[in-house]
Amino acid sequence: MSIQKKGTKHHPVIFLEGPKPRIHELGFAWHIFRQFITAFRTLHFLGPCITIFGSARFKEDHKYYQAAMAFGKGIAKLGLTTMTGGGPGIMEAANRGAFEAGGKSVGCNIKLPFEQKPNPYVQTSFTFKYFFVRKVLMVKYSYAFVIMPGGFGTMDELFETLTLIQTNTISHFPVVLFGKKFYQSMIDYLQEMVEAGTISAADMDLFLLTDDVEEGLHHIKKHLRANYPKKPQKRLWWLFEKG
């Protein structure tokens, strides 16, 4: 299945490619494995992360950009690492807040034809080709999640995270939804899902909805202790893990 991509000379964009030659599939699997291992070897030693999701489209003067900066600064004060998608907008703001507060700042960037360029406030950065690789890493090393207003990508990340928590695939880490007005329609729809029986009333407790950065940080701090690792990871010389 293909469509004609706008702005190009009849260049097809393939969505469903089907089976490929076995050597191609092996190369595809190896490429994914290599990206995972490269990221594992670095993120393993960065300490507990708080992941902030949100739109790439908010500018510096927007209230949500400023709020994301405040979250980054607050996370740094907690001694934790701020992780984002590494791009502009909310991601840049959160990385910037952590960076300016002297904290650790990580970006998991994605190759896109528009919007997504690495921001200058990440100390550790990865660029991934596949969304699923990126999402695994942004969840694997996180002990809490802050969901700022965003678009399709943010909604995808929000509901995948809630699904993982709901099914006990990952621990019940705190999830902060920031922006009451922005998310109110979604909350109303979730209530309809409760009434329809497709989710339980208890699932509404999987997240905190707030307009207060301090309330969000307090919620994270309060629920973090049970999941916080007691000892830092040691580097093993025989695995060539350098300090």
Taking 80 as the threshold, does the pLDDT of residue 151 lie above it?
yes
From residue 100, alpha-carbon distances to 71, 83, 111 in Å are: 12, 15, 26
**Rounded CA separation 158/208 (Å):** 13
Taking 90 as the threshold, does the pLDDT of residue 183 lie above it?
yes
Query: Which band of pLDDT confidence, cut at 50, 70 and 90, is reported for residue 243?
Result: low
Taking 60 as the threshold, does the pLDDT of residue 9 lie above it?
no
From residue 129, alpha-carbon distances to 32, 110, 114, 137 in Å are: 9, 6, 14, 13
What is the predicted pLDDT for the residue at 170? 81
Taking 90 as the threshold, does the pLDDT of residue 114 lie above it?
no
Q: What is the 3-state secondary structure (H, E, C) of the chain?
A: CEEECCCCCCCEEECCCCCCCHHHHHHHHHHHHHHHHHHHHHHCCCCCEEEEECCCCCCCCCHHHHHHHHHHHHHHHCCCEEEECCCCCHHHHHHHHHHHCCCEEEEEEECCCCCCCCCCCCCEEEEECCHHHHHHHHHHCEEEEEECCCCHHHHHHHHHHHHHHHCCCCCCCCEEEECHHHHHHHHHHHHHHHHHCCCCHHHHHHCEEECCHHHHHHHHHHHHCCCCCCCCCCCCHHHCCCC
**Rounded CA separation 82/41 (Å):** 18
Taking 70 as the threshold, does the pLDDT of residue 135 lie above it?
yes
Percent of the chain at pLDDT exceeding 70? 84
Mean pLDDT of the chain: 86
- Over residues 206-214, mean pLDDT: 97
Query: Which band of pLDDT confidence, cut at 50, 70 and 90, is reported for residue 38?
Result: confident
What is the predicted pLDDT for the residue at 171? 77
Q: Is 154 in contact with 161 (CB distance < 8 Å)?
A: no
pTM: 0.85
Q: Is 107 in contact with 118 (CB distance < 8 Å)?
A: yes
Domain ranges, ordered by start, for the chain: 21-59+74-119+142-227
Taking 70 as the threshold, does the pLDDT of residue 196 lie above it?
yes
What is the predicted pLDDT for the residue at 7? 45
- Over residues 42-70, mean pLDDT: 93
21-59+74-119+142-227 belongs to which CATH class?
alpha beta
What is the predicted pLDDT for the residue at 47? 79
